Amino acid sequence: IILLGDSAGAHFHISPEWITASQMSLKSFINLPTALTNELDWPQLSGATGFLDSINGYVSKSYQKGGHTKSFMGPGCDISCDKFRFLRVCPLWLFSLSRNQLLDHPAIVIYAMIGNDVCNGKADPVPEMTTPEKLYSNIMQTLKYLNSHLPNGSHVILYGLPDGTFLWDNLHDRYYPLGQLNKDVTYAHFYSFLNCLQVSPCHSWMSSNKTLRTLTSERAKQLSNTLKKIATSQKFTNFDLFYMDFDFHEVIEEWRKRGGQPWQLIEPVDGFHPNEVASLLLADRFWKKVQLQWPQVLGKENPFNSQIEQVFGDQGGH
Ligand SMILES: *[C@@H]1O[C@H](CO)[C@@H](O)[C@H](O)[C@H]1NC(C)=O
Ligand SMILES: *[C@@H]1O[C@H](CO)[C@@H](O)[C@H](O)[C@H]1NC(C)=O
C-alpha cells in the first residue's frame, strides 16, 4: 500500500499536553524527540496505512487497516511515507518510488492530496490555489509515471478533497488550548494570528472571511470533479483507476451518532488536521467502501489466515 499524500494523510499531530499549562508534566514530553524527527507526522497512525492506535501509549494493537494487509493476498509491502507534495515540492519522493515491475506484487496506491491544492498561508490565498486545468495535467503526469513503474494488476485510488468549512463552523468560538486557562483565546483569535504572520496551514478555510471560505470550498469541489473525471475517462495498462469522495460529513454524522461533537475530530493544537479519532473513522469508511465497491482491489483472502492465527494468536488483525 503506497500513500501519496500530504500532512493530513500522514497524520500531522502536535500533542496538546505540550502547550496546555494544566496538563504539562515531564511525562507529556516523552514522545517529543521521535515526533520532531518525523516532522510531527505520525504515518504509523494514519488513516490509510496506519497500524498503531495511540500516539502516547504507542500501543501496538492493531488498527482496522492492518487486518487487510495481513488477511488479503496482494500488496507485498507497506510504505507509510509521507507528507510531501510530490510533483511540485518534493519530486524526489514519487520518482524514487522503487518497484520491480516484473517481480513485485501489485500495489494499491492511494493519492490523497487532501488540502495542499487549495490551502496556503498567503495573505491572498486564491491566486495560489491549483486550477482544475493544472491539476488535470499534474495528475496525468503522475499516472503516466505510475503506469511505467507499478507491477501489472495494481490499483490506484484518487481521493477527493474535503469541504473544509466545518473547521470554522465548529471551532471559531471554542477556546484554543493556550486560552483555556484564562478563557481568553479562541480559535478565531488563533486563526487570525496565524494569518497575520502568514504561517497558516490553510488561510483559505481558517478565516473569518466567509466569502473566502465559500470560494475555497467551490474550488475544492471543482478539483474533486476533475479527479473523478480522470478516473472515469482514462485507462492505463498496469493499473485500474478509481475515485472516492472525501466525505468528512459522513464521519461527523457517525461520530454524532456515537454521542460525539464535531470539534473533537480536529487536531486541537493546529485547529486544522483530522485527529486520530477522525483518521480511524476515515480509514474504516475508506476500506469498507473499497471492499464493497471494488473487492478486486483487496484480492483474495489469504488462505493461511487460520494458520497464522494458530501460530501467533489473535493479533487483532495486525
Ligand atoms: C496485465 O494484466 C491484465 C489482467 O489483470 C491482463 O489482461 C493483461 O494482459 C496484462 N498485461 C500485460 C502486459 O501483461
Ligand atoms: C474576503 O475574501 C475575498 C476573496 O478572497 C476578498 O475578495 C475580500 O477582499 C475579503 N474580504 C476581506 C474583508 O478581507
Which of 43-57, 134-148, 184-198, 254-268 has the lowest average pLDDT? Answer: 43-57
- Whether 104 and 75 have beta carbons less than 8 Å apart is answered as no
Selecting among 7, 15, 204, 279, the annotated active-site residue is: 7
pLDDT at residue 68 greater than cutoff 90: no
Helices and strands, counts by H and E, the chain: 10, 4
Pocket test for ligand 1, best of 104, 148, 152 (most atoms within 8 A of CB): 152
Ligand 2 site, CB within 6 A? 126, 209, 211-212, 215
Across 274-300, average pLDDT: 85
Atom of ligand 1 nearest to the CA of 152: 1
Q: Which of the 8 DSSP states describes residue 155?
A: E
Span 291-308, pLDDT tens digits: 899 989 987 777 877 787
Q: Which ligand number lies closest to the CA of residue 209?
A: 2
d(CA 178, CA 186): 9
> Lowest mean pLDDT: which of 90-99, 184-193, 259-268?
90-99
Q: Which three cell numbers stand for residue 199?
A: 504561517
Residue whose Cα lies nearest atom 5 of ligand 1: it is 153
Is the model's pLDDT at 86 over the cut of 60? no
pTM above 0.85, yes or no: no
pLDDT confidence bin for 175, thresholds 50/70/90? very high
Ligand nearest to the CA of 127: 2
Distance CA 188, CA 175 (A): 9
> Hey, which bits of the chain come out as E strands?
2-5, 108-112, 154-159, 239-244
Cβ–Cβ < 8 Å for 217, 131 = no
- CA 285 vs. chain centroid, Å, equals 13
- Amino acid of residue 22: S
Residue nearest to atom 14 of ligand 2 (CA): 209
Residues 243 and 254: their CA atoms lie apart, in Å, by 22
Nearest-5° angle of CA 115, CA 167, CA 285? 65
pLDDT of residue 194: 87
314: which residues sit within 8 A by CB, 6+ positions away? none
Instruction: Outline where DSSP puts E strands in 113-170.
Output: 154-159
Helix (H) or strand (E) holding 93, with range, is helix 91-95
Q: How far is CA 275 from CA 45, 64, 123, 153, 250, in A?
A: 10, 16, 26, 33, 16
| Bridge partners of residue 3, in order along the sequence | 110
